[in-house]
Amino acid sequence: MAPKQRNAAAHSSTTTSSIAAAPSAAATAPPSSAPVAVPKSAIAKTTHAGSTQSWDKIVSNVLTHYLDTTPQRTKLLDAFMAFLVAVGALQFLYCILAGNYPFNAFLSGFAATVGQFVLTASLRIQTTEANKGDFPSVSPERAFADYVVCSLILHFFCVNFIN
């Protein structure tokens, strides 16, 4: 749990600085950055430049939104999900590079990360305030209990399958 927490903490520490910077950047960036961008990609088409620009904007907008509205606990969940994605990607990479010989083991390992990711995502969705209307019968406590039960089932199957 420790590395994850550290990860989350690092996240939040970087966030505070960028939160402060973000609104001002969002407000001032478009007029100032456009002249800068055009000379740089003078050969490239203007539409291309425009799309990259809007990409920048989209990404920065999403980031600010995330940092603004996500409570600390949910960020923990997100860190865990990022960790799972990393582990899953590593396993997949290993499978591609070194072969999938104990296919059972690879499958159950990979399925464990994917399943846990999905379950965590579900927990995250169910506990988010904005989604409360979608789940009239699922309280956050119930969501967590469900999460634990489902994880137990998942890992039982994985251990049984891993050979």
Partner 1 sequence: MSAEPLQGLASVGKGQSTRGLLRVIILALIAGAAISSRLFSVIRFESIIHEFDPWFNFRATKYLVANGFYNFWDWFDDRTWHPLGRVTGGTLYPGLMVTSGVIYHALRALTIPVDIRNICVLLAPAFSGLTAWAAYLLTNEMTPSSSAGLLAALFMGIAPGYISRSVAGSYDNEAIAIFLLVFTFYLWIKALKQGSMLWGALCALFYGYMVASWGGYAFITCLLPLHAFVLICMGRYSTRLYVAYTTWYALGTLASMQIPFVGFLPVKTSEHMPALGIFGFLQLLAFLDYVRSAIPSRQFQTFLWLFAGGTFGLGLLGLVIATSAGFIAPWSGRFYSLWDTGYAKIHIPIIASVSEHQPTAWPAFFFDLNMLIWLFPVGVYLCFQQLADEHVFIVVYALFGSYFAGVMVRLMLTLTPVVCVAAAMAVSALLDTYLSAKSPKPQETQAADGSEGKKAVKSGLRSTGKPVVGVYGLWGKSMMVSALAVYLLVFVLHCTWVTSNAYSSPSVVLASRLPDGSQHIIDDYREAYQWLRQNTHEDAKIMSWWDYGYQIGGMADRPTLVDNNTWNNTHIATVGKAMSSREEVSYPIMRQHEVDYVLVVFGGLLGYSGDDINKFLWMVRIAEGIWPDEVSERAFFTPRGEYRVDGEATETMKNSLMYKMSYYNYNNLFPPGQAVDRMRGARLPEVGPNLNTLEEAFTSENWIIRIYKVKDLDNLGRDHASAAAFDRGHKKKKVTKRKGPRVLRVD
CA angle at residue 161 from 96 to 114, to 5 degrees? 55
User: Given candidates 30, 137, 140, 163, which one binds partner 1 under the rule CB under 8 A?
Assistant: 137
Nearest to 65 by CA among 18, 124, 111, 33: 18
In the complex, least distance from residue 83 CB atom to partner 1, rounded to whole angstroms: 17
Binding flag, residue 130, partner 1 (CB under 8 A): yes
Residue among 87 and 121 whose Cβ is closer to partner 1: 121
Contact call for residues 116 and 151 (beta carbons, < 8 A): yes
- Alpha-carbon distance of 92 to 112, in angstroms, equals 13
Tokens at 34, concatenated: 């456009």
Residue list 28-87, contact with partner 1 (CB under 8 A): 51, 54, 57-58, 61-62, 65-66
Report the nearest approach of partner 1 to the CB of residue 62 (Å). Answer: 5
Distance CA 38, CA 8 (A): 37
- Which residues contribute to the site for partner 1 (CB under 8 A)? 51, 54, 57-58, 61-62, 65-66, 103, 107-108, 111, 114-115, 118-119, 121-123, 125-126, 130-131, 134-135, 137-138, 142-143, 145-147, 149-150, 153-154, 157-158, 160-161
